[in-house]
Amino acid sequence: MSSCIFCNIIQGKAPAEIVYQDELVTAFHDNHPVAPVHLLIVPNKHIPSLNEWEASDEPTAGRLLSVAKCLAEQFHLRQSGYRLITNTGADSGQAVFHLHVHLIGGRRMRFLG
C-alpha cells in the first residue's frame, strides 16, 4: 500500500533505522520510543491488524517471535526482560494499520491496568 508508512519503510521509500530485514519481516527503531529499547517488528506483507491475519500467514507469526527473541538478545534485554505488544484496533491504541509487534525494554515496566 503506497500510503502505509510501514510498507514504505520496508520498501526503502521512507527513512527508518532498520535493525533487521529478511523475506518475511522487517524490524526498526520506533520514532516515539517509550523505553531505551523500542523496536517495531512488522511483516513485510501488508496486513492491517491481527483481525485480518489468515492461516497462510502463520509462518510469519513464528518469524516475528523468533526475530523478537534474537533482537532482545542483541540489545541485551534477555536477562532483565522485555515486553512484546501488539495493538489491534483503534481502541487498543493502534495508530498505524499495518500489523506490528513492539519490542520494549531497557527499564522496569509498569503493569498495565
Q: Which residue numbers are catalytic?
A: 100
Distance, CA of 23 to CA of 45 (rounded, Å):
10
Non-local (6+) Cβ contacts of 45 within 8 A are 24, 57, 60
